Amino acid sequence: MPGLEIEFEITGDATGGAFAILEFTLGPRRLVPPHTHVGEDELSYVVEGEVGFRVGDAVTIAAPGTYVQKPRGIAHTFWNATDQPARVMELLLPGSAAEGFRGVAVPDRIPNIHSDEWVQELVDRYGVRLIGS
């Protein structure tokens, strides 16, 4: 997707499905669509840049060294409102959830629910645009 690059650092296969670690590079002024994970938890760690997160009703503007928990079942999104790329390490539990980031549809194992909720508010407030647009 334009604006979001993903590298697999540790695959779910390498951990017997226990966890996976990905690294995202989020382009300037980009917003990942709000969504909810049904079967996995995520933990984000900001490596470089400044990244905004909304998890449920909580908004965090995270600098390098900040952790943000995104539990399963809670709607969340994240964005880069700056003019520089940002990098985020992402821990996924279980590790099989990472396969969804390869573009492989595994709806019975890792269903996600996407939503337009919050998009216009975040676009207006932070001057970002959706990934892929």
In CATH, what number is assigned to the domain containing residue 49? 2.60.120.10
Residue 38, pLDDT score: 84
Half-sphere exposure of 51 (CA within 13 A, CB side): 30
pTM for the predicted model, two decimal places: 0.86
Instruction: Answer yes or no: are the C-beta atoms of 102 and 5 closer than 8 Å.
Output: no
| Number of C-beta neighbours around residue 76 at 10 A | 21
Report the distance separating Cα 72 and Cα 62, nearest Å: 20
| Number of C-beta neighbours around residue 115 at 10 A | 12
Residue 105, pLDDT score: 38
Containing structural domain, residue 121: 4-130
Residue 64, pLDDT score: 98
Residue 102, pLDDT score: 57
26 by Cβ neighbours in 10 Å (0-12 / 13-18 / 19+) ranks as buried
Query: Considering only CA atoms, which of 33, 25, 35 is closest in space to residue 3?
Result: 25
Residue 87, pLDDT score: 97
Average pLDDT over the chain reads 88
Low-confidence ranges of the chain (pLDDT < 50): 104-109
Number of domains in the chain: 1
| Cis peptide preceding 94, ω within 30 of 0 | yes
Phi, psi of 101 (to 5 degrees): -80, -10
Residue 41, pLDDT score: 94
